[in-house]
Amino acid sequence: MFESPIARHLPLPPLQPGDWLGLLGGGQLGRMFCMAAQSLGFRVCVLDPGADSPAGAVADRHLCAGYEDPQALAELGRLCRAVTTEFENVPASALDLLAAGMVVSPAGASVAVAQDRIVEKAFVRDCGTPVAPYAEIRSAADLRAADPGLFPGILKAARLGYDGKGQARVADVHEALAAFDRFGGVPCVLERRLDLAMEVSVVVARGFDGLQLAYPVSENVHRDGILALSTVPARVSQDVAWRATDAALKIAQAMDYVGVLCVEFFVLSDGSLVVNEMAPRPHNSGHYSIDACVSSQFEQQARVMAGLPLGSVRQLAPAVMINLLGDIWFEDAQARTPREPDWAAVLRHPQAKLHLYGKTEARRGRKMGHVTVLGDSLDEAMSVAIQIERQLGITG
């Protein structure tokens, strides 16, 4: 457990069981937030345009409307004592509007930083934490003038990219120009591809009182740009774990962040760290905390916005989290009709915890759930996780 010696803010009067918490966004992160908040006695109102959203299905109330709908925002503000978000692409303007009359965490300004890769990279760099060498790309001319040392690289759209979307590996300026054209000429960053040893992430919870705690470092494996496997604690040296944690806490402090924040890092082959990106919300790589930690990242999100003390981030058992994508609903690459995976086979492993998100349609590449495998040792948890992946037909 890490706590930073930072200046305290005046704490909120804690909200009481029965009070309403608001949530912008109806995805699986919101679903898990609802369940955690309800276990603390709160009621949750979700604002999301999807009629059958995972969070809306379990919330105490669902406002089915757009995130900038004035009537829906007014109703959310009338009903709820505090509001949060479950994804970074919610309009920061909606958070700013709500903040005029209620508690909002994270603040719109913090969300806005993470919504734009250009702004985010400059902010992280100004915090004294390295990022991959990059150039801001706002036109084809910027690409032609880019440092040749940035190739081979990755061109990333500055906004609305996630799970590998809005990204293209580019070997040279010609490939970069073609990708820029495919992206519609939107602002981008061009990053140099680095020699990676692994990717890790740190989830931080920070309260209105300035207290901040960091969960154990997660070691992450991505397949096709989507998180596939998280191993916690990460198999890195104590020095790398400490440096990643310290950097994440410093970023949260510099943003005056309130809520749950995830910072993703690249660990280079020489042991150095660079920040990849951050997410102003609970993160896929922190899902293991539901089963493996004293307090989950979603419980922390509810505690923070209610003005309650943070819970312990202590990990109770080594864990491996398997992301379940819609691909496993299809028997093979040619199959067009989905069928239910064999969940009984998964649950025959007594240390496996299954979480399904209640999505009505399975699609390839869509996050449908996750399995967390606990073990007396990390080797044991990994061995069972590998067996489960094979049983479900997950390859990579």
CATH number at residue 147: 3.30.1490.20
Residue 104: what pLDDT? Answer: 92
How far from the centroid of its chain's Cα atoms is residue 137's Cα? 25
* 162 labeled binding residue: yes
* 165 labeled binding residue: yes
Same domain, 245 and 344: yes
Binning the chain into helix, strand and coil, the percentages to the nearest 5 are 30, 25, 40
What are the residues whose beta carbons fall under 8 Å from the beta carbon of 238, sequence distance 6 or more? none
* 287 labeled binding residue: no
Whole-prediction pTM: 0.93
* 193 labeled binding residue: yes
Residue 4: what pLDDT? Answer: 37
- For 38-62, the DSSP string reads HHTT-EEEEE-S-TT-HHHHHSSEE
Same domain, 236 and 329: yes
Split into its structural domains, the chain has a count of 3
Same domain, 185 and 260: no
Residue 333: what pLDDT? Answer: 82
* 220 labeled binding residue: no
CATH number at residue 44: 3.40.50.20
Return averaged pLDDT per consecutive 10 residues of the chain, 396 residues in all.
36 85 97 98 97 96 96 96 90 87 90 91 94 96 96 92 76 96 95 96 96 98 94 97 97 95 96 95 97 98 96 98 97 90 98 97 96 98 98 89
* 194 labeled binding residue: yes
Residue at 11 is within a domain: no
Q: State how far the alpha carbon of 370 is from the alpha carbons of 229, 323, 367, in Å.
A: 10, 5, 8
Measured CA to CA, the distance from residue 86 to residue 394 in angstroms comes to 27
Same domain, 165 and 25: no
Residue at 332 is within a domain: yes
Same domain, 28 and 49: yes
* 192 labeled binding residue: yes
* 358 labeled binding residue: no
Residue 88: what pLDDT? Answer: 81
Same domain, 145 and 247: no
* 163 labeled binding residue: yes
Same domain, 225 and 357: yes
- Neighbouring CB atoms inside 10 A of 285's CB total 29
* 323 labeled binding residue: no
* 359 labeled binding residue: no
Residue at 9 is within a domain: no
* 222 labeled binding residue: yes
* 357 labeled binding residue: no
Residue at 273 is within a domain: yes
Residue 164: what pLDDT? Answer: 55
Measured CA to CA, the distance from residue 62 to residue 44 in angstroms comes to 9
Measured CA to CA, the distance from residue 396 to residue 391 in angstroms comes to 14
Measured CA to CA, the distance from residue 295 to residue 305 in angstroms comes to 15
Residue at 216 is within a domain: yes
Count CA atoms within 13 Å of residue 233 on its CB side. Answer: 19
Residue 334: what pLDDT? Answer: 86
* 250 labeled binding residue: no
Same domain, 166 and 254: no
Same domain, 145 and 282: no
Residue at 200 is within a domain: yes
What are the residues whose beta carbons fall under 8 Å from the beta carbon of 129, sequence distance 6 or more? 247, 250, 251, 273, 274, 275
Same domain, 186 and 263: no
Same domain, 188 and 202: no
Same domain, 57 and 83: yes
Domain region containing 225: 196-392
* 89 labeled binding residue: no
Measured CA to CA, the distance from residue 68 to residue 66 in angstroms comes to 5
Span 175-185, pLDDT tens digits: 999 999 999 99
